[in-house]
Each structure stands twice: as structure tokens, then as C-alpha cells.
Chain A
Amino acid sequence: MIRIENVSVTYGSGATTVRAVRDISLHIPPGEALGLVGESGSGKSTVMRAVAGLIPHAEGRIFINGQEMPNKRPRASRKFAQMVFQDPYGSLHPNQTIDQTLAAPIAIHNLGDAEQRIINALTEVGLGREHRFRYPHQLSGGQRQRVAIARALILKPKVLLLDEPTSALDVSVQAEILNLLTRLRREHGLTMLMVSHDLAVIAHICDRIGVMSRGQLLEMTTATELAEGRVTHPYSQQLLRANRGFDPTSINVDVTA
């Protein structure tokens, strides 16, 4: 469903060149969920944004649904893949009601029947009619993220790109959103690409997991291997240790970041 070949992203030029992503290739078959873990600056989000088409100058080839995506994406291709952002506070327009936010994609693609589609989308993500005319600041973080998911689903995409969808949320809300994503994936047969720094979260959703650092894909592992600690790369092992909570014995405080 998604195939990317030798994707590289470079920012800046000359002495200040930053190679955010170096030569990454991935393949996600239909219905699979693939995760990318890594710390900030590892390039994981950049890969996702390149797939979404938010980085027009990305090098390499990106195929979604069997079609190669040109740098300037045609409007119709937007229906294939939609994205849910990390920050539910930043991804909704502060001056627009939920109703307006959900109505926009319907208008852009001339889908018609806005009333019914909006109500369906809200129901699907577990929001009621009473949320429809609220502004984002009148919703909780979890409710906003539900709205963001509803907005992504309203175009009936085949691929859902998830950029740290729960890292700004409370634990209890995170569970609700993860359950929602699991259910939507099952019901719609969605293909997912998810990015997170939280190993437990990514292993909960994804089957295969790629570990990224400094723009490179270090290793490809699975949720099971990760749980059993069967990762080979030292960096992956470090991530795994850190995930288990505070452990003063394993830390060298003199390592400067």
C-alpha cells in the first residue's frame, strides 16, 4: 500500500546542510501497521511528512496505493492518505467550530451530503452531537484528537499516518485513543504508519517496528522481538532500557547529549 524507495530529505545548503533523512526504503503491505521509533531529530517524523507530501523537495520515490506520488500532489490523491498530528491543540483551527473543521474536506472534494457525513464521522470517533458546535478550546485533549481523527477519516482514506498521536495526552485518554485507532483499523482495513518515541505505545499498535536514529533506519524489528528484548543494535537496546523506567544503575551521567 505504501512503498518508499531511497527517500532522503536535506535541509539548508552549504555548510549548514542537515541531512534529516538518509536513503530510507520501506514497504507497508495493505492492512499492516508499521511503526517508526526514535528520539527527537531521528528523522522519523520527516519520513512520515515526506509520505504525506508535506515535504515537496524530498528525494526518492514514494508510492501510495500503487501510484507514484509526484512532488506536487494532485487533489484527488489526497483521499488515499490522511494524517493525524501529534498536538491536538495545534492541529485544529482555533477560531473554527468542529462543524466547520469537518465541513472543510467535504467542500474541498465536493462530496456533498455534508450534514450526514459530519454526524457519521463524529459518531464513528465516539463524539456526540453536543460536541459539533464547540470550538477546540471547549474540548479536552482527547476529544480534540478524536476530532482530528474524524477529519482524517472523513475522506475515507486507505492509509492513516499517525505522528505521535497520543504523546500529548493523559494515560487514560491515550488508552481510549489507542483503542479507537485499533477499532478503526479493523473496521476500515486501514494501513497505518505510526511514529512515536514510546516503545510500549508503538508496540501496542504496530506489527513491524523500525528503529531510527540520526536520519537512518538502524534496524527493523517486530513487537514480539522488542518485548523479548531481542534487538541487536545497541541504540535499540538503550531505548528499550529507558522505556522500563528510572534505573540509576544503567546510567552514565557524564555522557553529554
Chain B
Amino acid sequence: MTETLLSVRNLRVVYPGDDGDFRAVRNVSFKLGRERLGIVGESGSGKSTTGRAIMGLIAKPGRVEADELRLGDSDLTALDEAGFRRLRGKRIAMVLQDPKFSLDPVMSVGKQIAETHRHHFRSSKAEARKAALEMLEAVHIRDPERVYHQYPHQLSGGMGQRVMIAMMLIAGPDILIADEPTSALDVSVQQQVLAIMDEMVKSRGMGLILISHNLHLVSSFCDRVLVMYAGQIVEVCDAGKLHEAQHPYTRGLLAALPELGRRRDELPQLQRDPAWLADLPAALGAAT
């Protein structure tokens, strides 16, 4: 593997509640290099919470604990909110499912991208504008000048997600976390957005964490896949070899997918073994 950009050891996220503490993420460990890492799992598996914990976005009263959470040479466990704010965008960025919620509705998108540039590089207005236009072009927006002046509600879903990627990458982060970036898009547009993300990550030598529930998507897009269940990583495998997965959960998920050309009267249903919920030895995932 290439140089390690992000290393996570025994990450834990706990939400206290009226009916006891809820352990949303339990002892998650992995290392990320300049690669495309997928995290798959069903809702409630802790995949999104893991992404948010790395970004320092777990809201109170949730607690984040980790034996190690290191981004390059910075120790994220020691950071306070202000420290995270300096880091976000500049070193590590996140793309969410719906760009409509992540963009400021009353500022033109170009201006938002330029503002991000100014914030991180203290650049002049003209420089920031130029950088923003270049960035819009980089995400294959044909007419950057026109889109620069548009407002988020004027953009289609695919366009919005391109703008989002441009804004997230303008400060040149090392890592991009994409949480279900294409789930709200139509299939044909999904492919374009993924291709753009792929191109950007490759050309800039970044690490990408793609969080998704879609097994097909992750296995066809990523290099490596972490499978999460009930807050733990239950399996790590090469994306191309997802179909050779060992863990009964992963195998059950794959079997439960309806397939074109293989019509079955009944889809094999996932039988959840209570033993899967037991705490795993903390080491899984750390070795890779």
C-alpha cells in the first residue's frame, strides 16, 4: 500500500440516551492510502457515523473516542471544534447525499466556491474567482461562467453534486469522504458524478472514502471495501473480490439482491445471527 493518509484505530462513537448508552460505532480501525476505499453497510451500521466522526461532526451529546485518529501528521483526537474547522476543507472534505442541503441557498454557487478559496488561501477576490471557474471546469461543467452566477435551486441534482465536489476540492484536501454522493441522483447522472469524482481523486492523488449502501456501486468503483454491521467492521476485502466475501453477513447481502436474468421465486433472506453483534477483537481492519 502507498503512504498512509489517515489512520484510525479503535474509533468509538457513543450516544447517551434515556434508555441507555447507544454504541453507534465500535472499535473501527483502518488505514487509508491514496486509494478509493468503500464502506458499505445497511442503515444503522455506523458507516455514516464513522465518516462524520473523522470529520469531527458528531453533535453533542454524542462522544467520539479513539486510540488513534491521525490525519498525516495531525492528531485528530486532540482537536477541538476550532481545530477541526481549520482542518475541514483544507485537509479533509466531505460530499453529502443532497447538495441542496449543503449549499447556501442565497449565495451564487460560484461565489460560494470562491469564498471557500479565500477562506483557506487568503487570496484576492480576482484570484478566488479564477480558481473557482477553473474548478468548475475541472468537474466538467461546460459553461462555468453561467453556472458561477447560478443559485443552488437553479441546478439539477447532478449539477449540484458537481458544484459540491468543486467546492470541496478547491482547497486541495488530502482526503474526500463521500457519503452516499449519488443516492439522490438518477442512474445515468450517478455514473457521470462518480466518473468525475474518480478523475479528480486520481489526478490529485487523494484518498477517497465512499460510504454507500449500494454493493454493486462500491464493488465496481472502489479498490477496497470495508463491510460494517452494527457499528463494527465485520469484513475487509478487495472490491473486485467482494463476491468471494467470507462473512455470512456480506454473503447474505449479496444473495438478497435481485438480479436481472436470474429471477428467483424467492430471494434468500438475510438471517441475522445474534453472534454477529458480539464485540469483535479490536484488531480487524488495523492490519490492512
Which A residues form the contact surface with B (CB < 8 A)?
39-40, 141, 170-176, 178-179, 182, 197, 199-201, 203-204, 223, 226-228, 238-240, 242-248, 250-257
B residues in contact with A244, CB < 8 Å: 216, 220
Asked whether any CB of chain A lies closer than 8 Å to the CB of B88, the reply is: no
Least Cβ–Cβ distance between A195 and chain B, in angstroms: 14
Least Cβ–Cβ distance between A90 and chain B, in angstroms: 16
B residues in contact with A171, CB < 8 Å: 42, 213, 215, 253, 256-257
B residues in contact with A227, CB < 8 Å: 260-263
Task: Contacts A171-B215, A171-B253 known; list 19 others, CB within 8 Å.
Answer: A40-B186, A170-B43, A172-B252, A175-B270, A197-B186, A200-B257, A200-B260, A203-B260, A204-B264, A228-B261, A243-B260, A244-B216, A245-B220, A251-B195, A253-B140, A253-B192, A256-B158, A257-B189, A257-B192
Asked whether any CB of chain A lies closer than 8 Å to the CB of B246, the reply is: no
B residues in contact with A245, CB < 8 Å: 216-217, 219-221
Contact yes or no, A256 B267, CB < 8 A: no
Given the known inter-chain contacts A39-B186, A203-B263, A257-B159, please indicate yes or no for A172 contacting B220, CB distance below 8 A. no
B residues in contact with A250, CB < 8 Å: 191
Which of A173, A200, A226, A242 meets B191, CB within 8 Å? Answer: A242
A residues in contact with B262, CB < 8 Å: 227
Chain B residues 235 to 288 lying within 8 A of chain A, measured CB to CB, are 252-253, 256-270, 272
A residues in contact with B194, CB < 8 Å: 246
Query: Interface size for chain B: under 10, 10 to 19, 20 to 34, or 35 or more residues?
Result: 35 or more
* A141 and chain B: residue at smallest CB distance: B43
Asked whether any CB of chain A lies closer than 8 Å to the CB of B187, the reply is: yes
Which of B142, B158, B264, B270 meets A172, CB within 8 Å? Answer: B270
A residues in contact with B260, CB < 8 Å: 199-200, 203, 226-227, 240, 243
Which of A201, A251, A256 meets B142, CB within 8 Å? Answer: A256
Least Cβ–Cβ distance between A235 and chain B, in angstroms: 9
Contact yes or no, B158 A182, CB < 8 A: no
B residues in contact with A247, CB < 8 Å: 191, 220
Which of A179, A201, A246, A255 meets B221, CB within 8 Å? Answer: A246
Asked whether any CB of chain A lies closer than 8 Å to the CB of B97, the reply is: no
B residues in contact with A40, CB < 8 Å: 186
Chain B residues 194 to 231 lying within 8 A of chain A, measured CB to CB, are 194-196, 198-199, 213, 215-217, 219-221
Least Cβ–Cβ distance between A8 and chain B, in angstroms: 23
Give 11 pairs: A residue, B residue, CB < 8 Å, sorted on A.
A170-B42, A178-B258, A226-B260, A245-B216, A245-B221, A246-B194, A247-B220, A248-B198, A252-B192, A256-B158, A257-B159
Bound Cα distance from A64 to B94, whole angstroms: 49
Contact yes or no, A179 B188, CB < 8 A: no
Contact yes or no, B42 A204, CB < 8 A: no
Bound Cα distance from A209 to B266, whole angstroms: 20
